[in-house]
Amino acid sequence: MCTAGVTQLAATVNWSMAQDQNVAMGSPLSTANLFPIYGAVGSSSTAPTSGDTQLGAETARVVVSEATSSGGVIILMFFYGTTGVGWTITEAGVFVSSGASVAGSGANTGLLLDHATFTAVTKTTAQTATLGLTFDF
């Protein structure tokens, strides 16, 4: 279990765009309206800022494996399976689709909602990893 050392919500305009999209579709704070949602990890230790649009050095990205929302709280879980190459990660971020910003499986795609850095975590080729995030509005 890793707790983020430094976290920064992306620019207010990113959250506004995502919330507007939810409202327009008739379901405020519903994760379903933000799909696809991707969790990305990377190796940069540069402190996040509210102007960030991507991770510093994205290493891997997966689509959300579990998403729930209730009473102003959104919980997202991302599962990273075994890989051909081990990682040492120091950052993570959440990407969604909104308007012209379409999140995909490729690095640096979509609208960055949250960016966090933390003490290095190493994942070997035989290990799996789970990234969990909770947004409380």
pLDDT in tens, 70-102: 777 788 899 999 988 999 999 999 988 776 778
Number of domains within the chain? 1
pLDDT band at 52 (very low <50, low <70, confident <90, very high): confident
In a domain, 1, yes or no: no
Position 42 in a domain: yes
102 or 30: which carries more pLDDT confidence?
102
Domain that holds residue 100: 6-136
Q: With a cut of 70, say whether residue 55 has pLDDT above it.
A: yes
Q: What is the pTM of this model?
A: 0.78
String of DSSP letters for the chain: ----SEEEE--HHHHHHHHHHHHHTT-TT-GGGG-S-EEEEE---SPP-TT--S-SSEEEEEE-SEEEEETTEEEEEEEE---SS-EEEEEEEEEE-BTTB---SSTT-SEEEEEEEEEEEEE-TT--EEEEEEEE-
Residue 60 lies in a domain: yes
Is 16 contained in some domain?
yes
